[in-house]
Amino acid sequence: MATNKTGGPGRLLGYLESRKNLAGGAAGLVGLALTFTGLAGAYWPVVVAGLYGAGALIAPPERPAAPDFPDAAEQLDGLRGDFATLREYLARIELPPAAGGKLAELDGLIEALLDPGWVGEALALDPEAVYALSRIIQQDVPEAVDAYARTRWWTRLTPGTEPPERHLERQLALLFDEADAMASALREAEARRQQTHTRYLEERGRGA
């Protein structure tokens, strides 16, 4: 059975450095000061202990540091690496011309969205778009291509069934539409930003 080895000297040292002990110690020093001035009387140990306990009780509890998760910009850096890995995988898969063309369109759009310049900066401002793009790269495209590769093998054994490339073409078209909508949303956000600045300049001109 596993045992907890975090106690002992480590926990004692942690308490000595805690806010509760420091606050209690400060209050206890007040009690000692009262003792030296004669105000605590014969019950000075009780006074010191009571003040220490009161100080420890009113001290704020220890708060563990919040986890430091990567922000959207850091996620994009990792996503660019994942995209490069995806491209290496796709280069080893033989696709029919129609599906290959759809994939090329999707590849070009993703590459544009991940551009490390101002486009990437705009994308980083939309965490939901970053998540959606990561899902396309890390999950949707690999699953679509892998399912095609596996189904194609079975189709060769059972001719006459629906060609798997039709599903692949449809899946890649849907993913392209999703990425294209993402790009359109970013473009509209930039357009609204431009319009807002125009209105600001117009209002500033009228107020001059």
Output the pLDDT for position 156.
67
In 3-state terms, the chain is what percent helix, strand and coil (to 5)? Answer: 80, 0, 20
Q: Which tokens go with 159?
A: 């001719």
The pLDDT tens digits for 2-21 are 444 445 555 545 554 565 55
Place of tokens 């599906």: 99
Per-residue DSSP letter, 59 = S
Segments of the chain with pLDDT less than 70? 1-70, 72, 156-161, 208
Residues near 122 by Cβ (< 8 Å), separated by ≥ 6? 186, 189, 190
The pLDDT tens digits for 147-168 are 999 888 777 666 666 788 899 9
pTM: 0.64
Output the pLDDT for position 172.
96
SS3 call for 16: helix
Output the pLDDT for position 19.
59
Per-residue DSSP letter, 137 = I
CA distance 86 to 89: 5
